[in-house]
Chain A
């Protein structure tokens, strides 16, 4: 398991170097490394102040999306039960849209609260029959649709300029963001380190039948709540800072599970793949139609979906 992480960590490192190196002014990769580790090069401003903060933000946001998705998917044993499908992202989106169009609240805290509130509602519906996967996913999809309708209502009744800003937020963009946002996510990730270490262990039993888990002295339903709440917190914190970057929380854990060949999405690898995906999506968004910037959220699906489909096809053939 651990050795499988190395190539992915290497890909992430390469993606980070590429993201810092490519731009209107291209910096040779070796100069990037020199500037990062030693400083004092001609490129210090471009590397350290312009591109690195945004790249770090992409990496930590992606890691938080990957972890959040892995936790919720593992708990519900359902790849569709990902925060961007079951309403967490849409809850954050509705709160952010209201904040952006009315100016009544600060966007990030409102989005975080909206995401957590949506998660609480979905958990409430899903728990009626002991938090079974099907109920949970159905409740989540219903809540997500309702919230999306709410977003449309707010957008159509808002001023055009406000609505446009909200649209960009809803797609998810790292443009003009950096260390401040990265720190906010980093604090949540750091605070979640111990709960995550517990989660990695607790998930072993969550993949078993509830009766078997009870026989082993575990309270399966209470444990599912804890794990899913942790996942929702991570996904909502990342969404609050970078907007509704779609598909990362869904695809990163699925790809990780297929690479690691495990029974459930592995946490560390999901985090690394989530980080890699957002860094690459942001890089592609900056460069593909340069000087026009595409939001990262447009490209996460464009990069992630074909790779997941490739893995699905390869598995069927094997």
Chain B
């Protein structure tokens, strides 16, 4: 499945954040969007996830404008994990993940054996099967994030968009979530995530989209994109880029503000 953004204009309440942005998401890859605060990376992801309506241009899903397709059908192809969603009180992990089947259900036909199988699989893929009966509000931040991902997996979409999935998590849980994203991509999905940590982006992404002031500054493989020049240009930060001792991916070491 192909996701393309053409001439996209988007923003909030009269403030345009993106003004004619075009970018393509490579299918079957793990793409990470990076950029400083207010660079428009979340706006881009939210518009791609149709949480935000474009003011101009379009997001194309296999060539069709996403915002003109029936939402239920889009939800069968495109899953989204919003940033820090509100946790509903008093429901179990299993109950929440089951709601990921919503796009396949109707009020007169609510639950099938098929749904059951998919939900069990989603729980085990996201590594939360043993938490199934626990109330969500009792879980740690890292566990919750995996539960939300499980819910998105139960949607059985080829593409999954995640808005800052590692924010508010400690380092070990950040790595858990990143590794889970990597496993899902290996399983054949297209993954797009907004991340804050450059080094994690360089280490886990197949493809990087670097943004500044609502525009795409560079796209490509981490080894081509993550350079000292680019970090200066995008973040205004002086740094040295060395190969990571574990993976060989570019490792950004800041030297100071210019």
Per-position binary interface string of chain A over residues 199-230, scored 1 when its CB falls under 8 Å from any chain B CB and 0 otherwise? 01110110111011011111100000000000
Q: Find out whether the CB atom of B102 lies under 8 angstroms from the CB atom of A217.
A: yes
Cβ–Cβ contact A215 & B152, under 8 A: yes
Kindly state the separation between the CA atoms of A208 and B91 in the bound complex, as whole angstroms. Answer: 11
Using Cβ atoms and an 8 Å threshold, which residues of chain B touch A215? 49, 51, 75, 79-82, 152, 155
> Contacts A207-B88, A211-B82, A262-B90: A216 and B99 contacting too (C-beta < 8 A)?
yes
CB atoms of B85 and A202 under 8 A apart: no
- Point out the residues of chain A lying under 8 angstroms from B108, CB to CB: 197
B100 at the interface (CB under 8 A from A): yes
Distance between A79 CB and nearest chain B CB, rounded to angstroms: 12
Cβ–Cβ < 8 Å partners of B75 in chain A: 215-218
The residue of chain A having its C-beta at the shortest distance from the C-beta of B75 within the complex is A217
Contact B85 A209 (CB under 8 A): yes
How large, as a class, is the contact surface on chain A? 20 to 34
> In this assembly, does A198 line the interface, its C-beta being within 8 Å of a C-beta of chain B?
yes
A304 to chain B, nearest CB (A): 22
User: Quick one: which of B88, B100, B107 contacts A198, CB cutoff 8 A?
Assistant: B107
Interface residues of A in 28-65 (CB under 8 A from B): none
The CA of A54 and the CA of B110, in the complex, are separated in Å by 38
Chain B residues, Cβ within 8 Å of A211: 51, 80, 82, 85
Closest CB-CB distance, A205 to chain B, in whole Å? 6
Interface string of B65-87 (1 = CB under 8 A from A): 00000111111100111100110
A213 to B102, CA, bound (A): 9
A212 neighbours in B (Cβ, 8 Å): 82, 85-86, 148, 151
- The main secondary structure of chain B at its interface with chain A is loop
- Say whether, besides A201-B110, A212-B82, A216-B100, A263 and B90 are in contact (CB < 8 Å): yes
The answer for the CA separation of A211 and B152 in the assembled complex, in Å, is 12
* CB of B79, distance to nearest CB on chain A (Å): 6
User: A130 CB to closest chain B CB, in angstroms?
Assistant: 12
The CA-CA distance from A208 to B51 in the complex, in Å, is: 14
Q: A209-B82, A263-B90 are in contact. Are A217 and B107 (CB under 8 A)?
A: no
Evaluate contact between B88 and A214: CB separation under 8 angstroms: no
Scan residues 208-267 of chain A and give those whose CB is less than 8 A from a CB of chain B.
208-209, 211-212, 214-219, 261-263
How close is B191's CB to chain A, nearest CB, in angstroms?
15
Chain A residues lying within 8 Å of B89, measured Cβ to Cβ, are 263
* Nearest neighbor of B154 in chain A, beta-carbon distance: A216
Interface residues of B (CB under 8 A from A): 49-51, 70-76, 79-82, 85-86, 88-91, 99-100, 102-103, 105, 107-108, 110, 148, 151-152, 155
- The 3 A-B pairs with the shortest beta carbon distances in the complex, nearest first, are A217-B75, A211-B82, A215-B80
> What are 27 sample pairs from A and B whose C-beta atoms fall under 8 A apart?
A201-B110, A204-B99, A207-B88, A208-B85, A208-B99, A209-B85, A211-B51, A212-B82, A212-B85, A214-B49, A214-B51, A214-B71, A214-B80, A215-B49, A215-B51, A215-B75, A215-B82, A216-B100, A216-B155, A217-B70, A217-B71, A217-B73, A217-B76, A217-B102, A218-B71, A218-B72, A263-B90
